[in-house]
Amino acid sequence: MELLNGIIRAYPWGSRTLIPALCGRPAPTERPEAELWYGAHSAGPSQLAGSGRHLDAVVAADPQATLGDRVAESFGGRLPFLVKILAADQPLSLQAHPSLQQAREGFARENEAGLAVDAANRNYRDDNHKPEILIALTRFCAMAGFRPLDKTRELFAELDCPACERYLPMLEPGPDGEGDLRGLFTTWITIPAEHRRQLISAIVERAQARGQVDDWIGGVLRTVVDLNKRYPGDVGVLGALLLNHVTLNPGEAIYLDAGQLHAYVQGMGVEIQSNSDNVLRGGLTSKYVDVPELVRVLRFDELDSPRVEPIARPTLAAGGLEYPVPVSDFSVTVARPGPFGWPLDHDGPVIALCTNGHAYCESAGTTLRIKSGEAVWIPASDPLATLTGPGQVVAVSC
């Protein structure tokens, strides 16, 4: 059991105030702080505060002790999850993540092509998938998964944009009862740039007129207008018309599986994901965009809602909530341990992140204090750890 030193990732879309304020540091910072990583990914492994050793090296040196036999065998001796605090002041890129098989094939293919792992035109920086859950710490806005087509047809009917008329038949149910989302999205991201700018300009003009109405359609259209101001004529503006637009309050969450198109828009949350940094981008970014590869990994099924409904675990700790996910790479519980304690019942590794106030982690006669924005690493060989204290803690295990 040791305190972890997180790794700050300074991306342009990050916030200069949210992460430092959470961690009790002066704000605003000189550079945007987009993410604070706690994990063992090779692109940014955390350090153990006591020894200064990087967590990926610690795990590699003794997978059985750090991960436990079950996890070490199931995940090839690697820590299977990555914990982040994500703070977006501007929209992230329109993106999706590959499945495990797609990641393995893509990573091998780009290695064979001689692409450096950190090359700007690289899609696959590792061989892992990246399912993820985001739990909001502030009001958090996101676009996530293709909206049900009946709602998208309703949106376009309200928008009433003549320039869109030629594309709308793709949204109508075919002989199989389904619309052609793949055809529409693929058409939009491959039309000539000048044609795309003209289409977006016509949509934005109609959206500005309709977007003042305070309903879900008005909210979508206001986001579309704002995205076009930031990225004029970008294909991501069109993509935003097809996605679920979600606003989370603190404690609410969304889950995104492989192939689901999404973009986080604004706010701060805890993101827990598989240990990967694979991103296929489709717009709203100055970074590398590989349209054919993005389309290859995308799932075009409709998503009713990306929200995750937590399960109350009142016997666990004060306000204990478990956030169910359909993968074995990680499990997530949030609670306030309180004075009676929260025993971490685990046979694998745990990263416990404090997101409000402070808490204590006790094990084998040692007590570590963690305050907001700090995390503690608990290896599988230390199965009797207990959390106490008034702060809110996110405990991630597998």
Catalytic residue positions?
Answer: 281
- Residue 374 and residue 108: Cα distance in Å, rounded? 36
- Residue 240 and residue 245: Cα distance in Å, rounded? 8
Residue with tokens 């890129």: 93
Beta-bridged to residue 243, according to DSSP, are 146
Supply 36's token pair: 């604070």
Q: DSSP per residue over 204-237, as a string?
A: HHHHHHHTTS-SHHHHHHHHHHHHHHHSTT-HHH
CA distances from 175 to 169, 178, 357, 381 (A): 13, 7, 57, 57
Q: Would the CA dihedral through 385, 388, 391, 394 be positive or negative?
A: positive
Which residues are CB-neighbours of 104 under 8 A, at least 6 positions away?
127
Q: State whether residue 104 is helix, strand or coil.
A: helix
Which backbone phi and psi does 394 adopt, to 5 degrees?
A: -100, 115
Residue with tokens 């001796």: 77
Supply 154's token pair: 């309703």
The alpha carbon torsion through 109, 112, 113, 119 (nearest 10 deg) reads 80
Residue with tokens 């002066």: 26
Q: Yes or no: say if 81 and 272 are a contact pair by the CB < 8 Å rule.
A: yes
- Residue 125 and residue 117: Cα distance in Å, rounded? 5
Burial bucket for residue 120 (CB in 10 Å: 0-12, 13-18, 19+): exposed
